């Protein structure tokens, strides 16, 4: 029998090439081998931004990005967390199975508090991994494709599953994280993480001109001041993109940079073109979907319907195991 994958993202805005490389390509690759559920974590988005004005539009936009990148909604349901009350209920039940001390030790929480300059935390933010556990376990996810930063959350998921199974009888699997090979793409500014909140991204919807303009701002080797100066590709953001999007030319580019034969301006132009080539089919598919927003809403409605059957079934098992309801 096929194993189940549960994957999710928060709908915080247009997706960028970091998402493509760090998650989406992996999801697309895995969709034939596994039963996949693709979750739009709109409840989770509220932990860092309570403003709901753009939430639905962002969710639709994320569906467009996912499908444009190759997710097949016929194979794998795509649905919104907030439409499935089972997530809220299971989250509540799970919140009795883990200590606050354990959640306070969550390194991802500490990282977010630091990165987002939060001076106080909402209760739901502390419970973020508990809700994520409900997301995964409602569909009995065996495997969760995530970036490294999410691994602590999967560990918490495993602990909750184990605790539930010990207390009430085995209902849940203990899911495993599945890390992507190329987990992180650095930002244009050289920041370790490409992120919308930092503003150092190339978006999947960016046309070639926008990619070129952004690429001009990309951080290169500070020691390569003039065109013919020898450079150090391993400290250059642009070179790291070549490694990912222009594999055929990587060794030539390294040699050109190191000898000084290749200048940064030309190198950036070339890199922009290669990224634009990769994004072209995605952008075309995006435009097609944007012209048929009704179809996008249908994808969600259908995904919801299919996900709900599974979620309800799991909750029936939970109720029986817990002698509730």
Give the C-alpha separation, 261 to 231, whole Å. 10
Question: Do the Cβ atoms of 132 and 153 come closer than 8 Å?
Answer: yes
Measured from the CB atom, is 141 or 233 closer to ligand TRP?
141
Position 144 contacts ligand TRP (CB under 6 A): yes
Question: Do the Cβ atoms of 7 and 144 come closer than 8 Å?
Answer: yes
Q: For ligand TRP, which stretch binds (CB under 6 A), given 37-45, 82-90, 248-256, 261-269?
A: 37-45
Residue selected from 4, 5, 10, 237 as contacting ligand TRP according to rule CB under 6 A = 10
Position 307 contacts ligand TRP (CB under 6 A): no
Q: CB under 8 Å to 119, separation ≥6 — which residues?
A: none
Rg (CA), the chain: 22
How many chain residues are in contact with ligand TRP, going by CB under 6 A? 14
Spatial CA neighbour of 267 closest among 237, 238, 231, 228 = 238
Could you tell me the smallest distance in angstroms from the CB atom of residue 43 to ligand TRP? Answer: 8
Position 9 contacts ligand TRP (CB under 6 A): yes
Question: Do the Cβ atoms of 21 and 185 come closer than 8 Å?
Answer: yes
Closest residue to ligand TRP, based on beta-carbon distance: 8
Q: Are strands 35-40 and 78-80 parallel, antiparallel or unpaired?
A: parallel
Question: Do the Cβ atoms of 288 and 64 come closer than 8 Å?
Answer: no
Position 44 contacts ligand TRP (CB under 6 A): yes
**If DSSP codes are grouped into helix, strand and coil, which group holds residue 187?**
coil
Q: For ligand TRP, which stretch binds (CB under 6 A), given 3-11, 183-191, 231-239, 266-274?
A: 3-11
Could you tell me the smallest distance in angstroms from the CB atom of residue 55 to ligand TRP? Answer: 14
Measured from the CB atom, is 91 or 224 closer to ligand TRP?
91
Report the site for ligand TRP in 123-142 (rule: CB under 6 A). Answer: 132, 135-136
Q: What is the DSSP letter of 48?
A: T
Residues in touch with ligand TRP (CB under 6 A): 6-10, 39, 41, 44, 132, 135-136, 144, 146, 150
């Amino acid at each position: 029998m096929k194993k189940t994958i549960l994957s999710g993202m928060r709908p915080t805005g247009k997706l960028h090439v970091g998402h493509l490389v760090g998650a989406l390509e992996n999801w697309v690759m895995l969709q034939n081998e596994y039963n996949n559920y693709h979750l739009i974590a709109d409840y989770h988005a509220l932990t860092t931004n309570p403003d709901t004005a753009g939430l639905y539009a962002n969710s639709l936009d994320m569906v467009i990005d996912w499908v444009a990148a190759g997710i097949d909604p016929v194979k794998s349901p795509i649905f919104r967390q907030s439409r499935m009350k089972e997530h809220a209920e299971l989250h509540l039940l799970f919140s009795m199975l883990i200590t606050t001390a354990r959640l306070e030790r969550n390194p991802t929480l500490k990282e977010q508090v630091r990165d987002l300059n939060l001076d106080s935390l909402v209760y739901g933010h502390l419970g973020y991994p508990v809700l994520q556990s409900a997301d995964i376990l409602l569909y009995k996810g065996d495997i969760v494709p995530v970036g490294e930063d999410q691994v602590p959350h999967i560990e918490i998921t495993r602990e909750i599953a184990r605790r539930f199974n010990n207390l009430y009888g085995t209902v849940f699997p203990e899911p495993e994280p599945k890390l992507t090979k190329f987990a992180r793409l650095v930002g244009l500014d050289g920041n370790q993480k490409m992120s919308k909140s930092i503003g150092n991204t190339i978006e999947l919807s960016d046309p070639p001109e926008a990619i070129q303009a952004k690429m001009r701002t990309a951080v290169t080797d500070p020691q390569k001041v003039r065109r013919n100066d020898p450079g150090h590709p391993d400290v250059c953001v642009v070179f790291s993109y070549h490694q990912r999007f222009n594999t055929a030319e990587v060794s030539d580019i390294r040699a050109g940079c190191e000898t000084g034969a290749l200048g940064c301006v030309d190198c950036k132009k070339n890199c922009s073109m290669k990224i634009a080539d990769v994004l072209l089919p995605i952008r075309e598919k995006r435009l097609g979907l944007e012209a048929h927003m009704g179809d996008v809403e249908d994808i969600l409605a259908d995904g919801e319907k299919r996900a709900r059957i599974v979620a309800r079934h799991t909750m029936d098992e939970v109720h029986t195991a817990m002698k509730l309801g």
